[in-house]
Structure 1
Amino acid sequence: MLVLSWAYLFHFCAGIRFLLLDTHVAVHKEGGKQTALSVLIVSSLLTLAVALKLFGAF
């Protein structure tokens, strides 16, 4: 369940990243690296929140 939620959240965050790239935000190489790393971090944090909710932490 967690792997599927991470895959969904990663895909969702990457979609937002590509929408920003379509508006020419961070189109250079360094900006691309930064946004890719931020997608990985944000999707991992959101997956952690889903895991905490799933296992009854809150």
Structure 2
Amino acid sequence: MLSWAYLYHFCAGIRFLLLDVHVSVSKEGGKQTALIVLIVSTLLTLAMALKLFGAF
């Protein structure tokens, strides 16, 4: 759970850096990037767990 929180925070930080340079600054763009952050952080967490437990 802590690794997901860290990775989510990291991905959200990148999202906010992109918002600072005016990428996807709209209500719809914000919803899309929020969903992307959630999916990417979850996939990174799964990849890290698989690597940690020796799946690859």
Same-fold status (TM-score > 0.5): yes
Aligned to 1:55: 53
Give the SS at the match of 1:25: coil
Q: CA offset at residue 54 of structure 1?
A: 1.1
Match of 1:12 among 7, 10, 27: 10
Match of 2:40 among 39, 42, 50: 42
Query: Runs of 4 or more off by more than 2 Å in structure 1?
Result: none
- Percentage of matched positions with identical amino acids: 86
Aligned residue pair count:
56
1:25 maps to 2:23: yes
Q: Which runs of 5+ in 2 are unaligned?
A: none
Deviation per CA, 1:13-38, whole angstroms, max 9, x where unpaired?
A: 00000000000001100000000000
Residue identity matched to 2:30: G
